[in-house]
Amino acid sequence: MKLLLDAHILLWSLIDPSQLSKRVSDELENPSNELWISPISTWEILLLSERGRVVLDADPVCWLRDVLGRIPFKEAGINHEIAIMSRILKLPHQDPADRFLAASSVVYGLTLVTADKRLMTVPDIAVLPNQ
């Protein structure tokens, strides 16, 4: 399975794995699955740190660079098709980060791993819910 990690899933997997459901934890550890990360999640983590909503052990930029250098993942880069899809998808809200993640999951054929109930209800995307 190709798993696109929402920012909070990435954070929890690294700093608070107890927040992950058994199924999500098992899938993240399954070596046959591919882990994908969007630059949008990197951006979101930096924003969360700037706003004091997440506290990291080190400077957030250094911490992220270290993490991204250590874990095997594929980058779900932003492109024009994702920008278009972000406006086509019927999401229950206008959060740009969520729109780009949902669009990335469609364009790249990925399963979005999330605990965001609003994203779990989008019929056009594959979701592995953290419940």
Q: How far apart are CA 60 and CA 114, in angstroms?
A: 22
Fold of 2-129: Rossmann fold (3.40.50)
The model's pTM is 0.94
- Domain boundaries of the chain, sorted by first residue: 2-129
Of 118, 54, 52, the closest CA to residue 91 belongs to: 118
pLDDT at 87 over 90: yes
- Residues ≥6 apart with Cβ < 8 Å to 96: 86
pLDDT digits (tens, 9 = 90+) for 46-58: 999 999 999 888 8
Over residues 63-84, the pLDDT tens digits come to: 999 999 999 999 999 999 999 9
- Kindly report each contact of residues 41-46 with a partner whose C-beta sits within 8 Å and lies 24 or more positions away, as own/partner: 41/5, 41/6, 41/7, 41/10, 41/101, 42/68, 43/97, 44/7, 44/97, 45/7, 45/10, 45/11
Token look-up 């696109």 returns 4
Residue 82, token pair as written in the block: 């994702």
